[in-house]
Structure 1
Amino acid sequence: MLFRLFGKKKKEKPKPYSQQMEQMKNQKLEKRIQKNSSNLKEIFQNDSDFSFREFQLFGNTSAVAFFISSLVDKEKINRDIIKPLQKEEKSKKESSKSPSTSSILNEVLYYCDGEMGSDMKAVIDALLHGKTVIFIDCEKEALFLDTFKPEKRGISQPETERVVRGPRDGFIEQMQTNISLLRYRLPVPEFRVDPMEVGKKTKTKVSVCYLDNIASQELIDEVKKRIQDIEIDRILDAGYIEQFIQDNPRSPFPQVQNTERPDKAVGNVLEGRVAILVDGSPFALIVPAIFNQFYQTSEDYIERYMITSIIRVVRFMALIFSLTFSSLYITVLSFHPEMIPAQFVVAASSGRSGVPFPVVIEVLLMEVAMEILREATVRMPQQVGGALSIVGVLVIGEAAVSAGFVSPITVVIIALSTIGSFATPSYNAAIAFRLLKYPLIILSGFIGLLGLATGLMFIINHMISLRSFGVPYFTPVSPWNKQGFKDALIRAPLRWLTERPAELHPKDSVRVESGVKEGPTNPLADEKRGDSNE
């Protein structure tokens, strides 16, 4: 009992650092500038780029400016903040009352992006977003001034979506620059950019872009809802958002389109779709997406329709080649040799003489070797990757044929299949077909033509069942839409594309005003000018 009365009190265990920080963040700012400053210094005590500058406001009031030096423009702080606040004005010196935070923001500083805050959490968020925070003695509110200076690369031609004819500018990692590229092409007040924030730790800025008088309100609300429902601590690229908002994450086919091209994003927004920009990513997401978008390019609408239609058919054939050519080769040689024309029988049989493997094993080995070589080419430095791809294909192919492991015709088939996958403009769609090629090869090797047909039926049935934000993936084929088919496998003349895609349910469906107009005139014709051939 005496020990309890006169003994030393048991020391309380110090609270963990994280709990102290949480309590400090929830505190309101006090009028004492020393208390606010000490709390902020304690939070950022181990950060080398945390800086502060104490000064006298108009020569008679204590003030301090806090900023993260790696995020801000120091020249702007010195010129536009510290210098005007230190300048002694006669009206301020004569006044006995210290200036308020609001009067400084509205009367002294030349800043269009300035605001005030009254709690420590807002102060910390402002600092971490590149703002300069100013505490003034005897004021319970702090000034937040935007001095963010991001390091960014210049606007250059997109690397993954090159065109022969068309704009050469592409998105970069800074979202404000990307928004300016869209606004440059859409100078209308109906263009909306709704800001959001995703990621508990990264607090990544996300913008939802659409045309208010065209895009369906149900689509806009659904896009925002899916983004708001994302619960994750980090968003480092637009690909994170894509994986959370797609309808069927187990499908190999992409249900969200991505692009580096501002003109392509604007074209889709004008059709009634929604573009999603993520800060730190040079790719914009476009929803909803349907299958025929993945073998189309923005250049298709710049060139003449006849040339574009032929090129689209070639791309589609290349896509089918990359999926089925190897499997069809196995089927014909292993189960249906009677399908080989008579003039090619000798070449096919003599080329396979001496090969120790069945056709299916031979094709699988070559396909896997080609995938390894392709992946190595992508991951190697650019100076070495090109040489590796050329030397690798020539040396490995020639050595395999000379050693008798594969037949020459197999090398030709695998090369055509690989080149067909390169002709697909969309990288993620090409990957899906490259992966689905292997189940078809195995089915063809065991069952023959029945296995190939069964595999294709499963793939087509799966694609028909897919939805992207409620829009059928195989539109306009299933369900059939005559107007939409004008811009599917072929590209009809622009004057025929009078309506926006019906599956998007746009508020304004008219894209090209239809009506009888005068045809082109010939002002320089000889009969109109009255010229003679004398």
Structure 2
Amino acid sequence: MFFKKTKEKNKQSQSQTPPSKVMEKLSHVEIHDKQQETIQEIQSIFGEDKDFCKREIFIFGDIPSTVLYLNSIADKECISTDIIKPLTETFTLVDKEGTKEINSNLKTTILKKVLYHADVKTDRKLVKVIDALLRGKTILLVNGIDEAFLIDTFKTDKRSIAQPETEQVIRGPRDGFIEDIRTNTALIRSRLPIPEFRIRDMEIGTLTKSYVALCYIEGIANEALIEDVERRLSTIDVDRILDAGYIEQFIQDNPRSPFPQIKSSERPDVIVGNLVEGRIAILVDGSPFGLVAPATFNQFYHTSEDYNERFIMVSLIRMVRLAALLFSLIIPSMYVAVISYHPELIPTAFAVAVTSGRAGVPFPAVVEVFLMEAAMEILREATVRMPKQVGGAISIVGVLVVGQAAVEAGFVSPITVVVIALTSIGSFATPAYNVAIGFRMLRFPLLILTGILGFYGLMIGLLFVTNHVLSLKSFGVPYLSPIAPLNFGGLKDTIFRAPLNWLLDRPEELQTQNQRRINPHDSSPNNPLLPENKQKSGYVDE
């Protein structure tokens, strides 16, 4: 088994580190039964913060109470209709004998008979009250009760659900994750309406206190894998978690590798597909990306659209993607090796065109290609960072005007421009942006090695890259599975994609609890309109 089992689950290390000096001082302070003392302590913390609001009311006619909330993240309409209105409209509180109830029953009465809101909790720790207030909850303090009512009224503006711009598909769902973790988990649960779907939540970041959700399907995902992921998350001790990329860098096996070992996606259907296979998904509040672990290399050139189309077309498209990815890595270096060290490999008819095109170029081939690659990376980065209205114009000007001007000025040859253009287009064919970045950056050391040693340098560089990829693991799963180590069953969904009714089992390298995915049966079409099937189906011509 690739996963290392852990018997004890570590507690979050950040729970031992106080998030701030203020919260550290309040760690042992409890709520007073006299609400004015508690209000003074809370007001001393927030000071003159204009976002802090206090509303004094009388409940049941004569019991002084106070409602506290932060104006920017609390739903004021919900506070008015579900909290203040029912509390102030209930003027009398009478027991069965007609006498006024004592304060010991006041808490139960408020919880079970008065408040309309669905999510109400109580706590007597002042640090918990402050934390709930900072998360958009409304605090109700009642005189005579030594506990605070924590009512969830969090509400902020959020963008609508739309198709992710980084993962466009022609045939497939059009919804994508947003920055709200509740919406993201709802998108997943709507596709997995089963009780086995589990969500474990935790807080990471001593200052940001970001919600992190660990999602898996019980009975399918390997228990040792679940424990391993949870252990790695619990050991993160940092002041801020602002995106899922922070989590990815902390829990991956080899952070120095240019290849990502955790897959990220903005598409709920991609996350659900990986959960059903037995993988683990990680969602972070404030990030539209979900993480999938463990990840293998073949996942990064697959798309969700691959399973919505016919397997023959998908297999051909996957081959095109993989060829484009490999060509974008080695074509510049091969061009330099042939031009500089092995010109005899160039056909005679083509050699004349190459020689005439390079006439007058003042740089060696390796310097020429290196400068063009660097210019292309600068142009690509400028296009990404500029506004959309300007970015398209910059790309057209950079490619057409600057490239043509460089050729006419004699700084580069036309064949070099063609090679760099094909290389850039090949890198865009990779669905995963982070993998494409890794391959683009690897072109530069391969160029240097090729410029020094020719084809020998290129082969040495490729051997180093191959050896590195073979040594990578993602949560104990070999990165090149199921190719290395070889698993013939897993090859049905790698470079080629077999028909869906052939994909009977989940990936073997995941060591899932339930390996069978499809029950084998005869799924061949049985047309009732055919003559031999008319009588069997009851269809009779009139």
TM-score normalised by length of structure 2: 0.93
Please give the alpha-carbon distance, in whole angstroms, between the structure 2 residues aligned to 1:20 and 1:498: 57
Shift of 1:513: 1.1
Shift of 1:106: 1.5
Aligned to 1:46: 48
Does residue 446 (structure 1) correspond to residue 452 (structure 2)? The answer is yes
Does residue 520 (structure 1) correspond to residue 525 (structure 2)? The answer is yes
- Aligned pairs for 1:274-423 (under 5 A) are 274-423=280-429
Aligned to 1:37: 39
User: Structure 1's 518 and 243: CA in aligned 2 closer, same or farther, altered over 3 A?
Assistant: closer
Does residue 74 (structure 1) correspond to residue 76 (structure 2)? The answer is yes
Aligned to 1:210: 216
Aligned to 1:23: 25
Higher relative contact order (CA 8 A, sep 6+): 2
User: Structure 1's 97 and 25: CA in aligned 2 closer, same or farther, altered over 3 A?
Assistant: same
Contact 2:86 2:116 in 1 (8 A): no
Shift of 1:24: 3.8
Shift of 1:264: 0.5
Shift of 1:119: 1.5
Structure 2 residue matching 1:82: 3-state secondary structure: helix
User: Structure 1's 388 and 66: CA in aligned 2 closer, same or farther, altered over 3 A?
Assistant: same
- Aligned pairs for 1:505-516 (under 5 A) are 505-515=511-521
User: Structure 1's 464 and 280: CA in aligned 2 closer, same or farther, altered over 3 A?
Assistant: same
Amino acid at match of 1:524: L
Amino acid at match of 1:221: E
Larger radius of gyration: 1
Contact 1:464 1:472 in 2 (8 A): yes
Say which of 460, 469, 488 aligns to 1:463: 469
Shift of 1:448: 0.2
Aligned to 2:243: 237
Aligned to 1:9: none
**1:140-188 per-position Cα deviation (integer Å, ceiling 9, x unaligned):** 1110111111211100001100001000000000001001110111111
User: Structure 1's 400 and 462: CA in aligned 2 closer, same or farther, altered over 3 A?
Assistant: same
**1:91-148 per-position Cα deviation (integer Å, ceiling 9, x unaligned):** 4495163462232011111122100010210110110111100111111111011111
Please give the alpha-carbon distance, in whole angstroms, between the structure 1 residues aligned to 2:227 and 2:149: 35
Unaligned runs of at least 5 residues, structure 1: 1-17
Shift of 1:493: 0.8
Aligned to 1:427: 433
Aligned to 2:264: 258
- Provide the aligned C-alpha RMSD in A: 1.5
Structure 2 residue matching 1:276: 3-state secondary structure: strand
**1:370-394 per-position Cα deviation (integer Å, ceiling 9, x unaligned):** 0000000000001110111012100
TM-score normalised by length of structure 1: 0.94
Aligned to 1:502: 508
Q: Which moved more, 1:87-96 or 1:263-272?
A: 87-96
Does residue 60 (structure 1) correspond to residue 65 (structure 2)? The answer is no
Please give the alpha-carbon distance, in whole angstroms, between the structure 1 residues aligned to 2:367 and 2:74: 60
Please give the alpha-carbon distance, in whole angstroms, between the structure 2 residues aligned to 1:34 and 1:476: 66
Unaligned runs of at least 5 residues, structure 2: 1-19
Shift of 1:85: 0.6
**1:435-466 per-position Cα deviation (integer Å, ceiling 9, x unaligned):** 00000011111100000000000000000000
Say which of 225, 234, 243 aligns to 1:228: 234
Aligned to 2:102: 97
Please give the alpha-carbon distance, in whole angstroms, between the structure 1 residues aligned to 2:219 and 2:26: 46
Pairs aligned (count): 514
Please give the alpha-carbon distance, in whole angstroms, between the structure 2 residues aligned to 1:269 and 1:467: 19
Structure 2 residue matching 1:252: 3-state secondary structure: coil
Contact 2:222 2:513 in 1 (8 A): yes
User: Structure 1's 46 and 22: CA in aligned 2 closer, same or farther, altered over 3 A?
Assistant: farther
Contact 1:24 1:39 in 2 (8 A): no
Structure 2 residue matching 1:234: 3-state secondary structure: coil
Structure 1 residue matching 2:489: 3-state secondary structure: helix
Please give the alpha-carbon distance, in whole angstroms, between the structure 2 residues aligned to 1:225 and 1:361: 48
What percentage of residue pairs aligned between the two structures are identical? Answer: 55
Amino acid at match of 2:100: S
**1:75-104 per-position Cα deviation (integer Å, ceiling 9, x unaligned):** 111111111111134444951634622320
Please give the alpha-carbon distance, in whole angstroms, between the structure 1 residues aligned to 2:446 and 2:45: 59
Structure 2 residue matching 1:277: 3-state secondary structure: strand
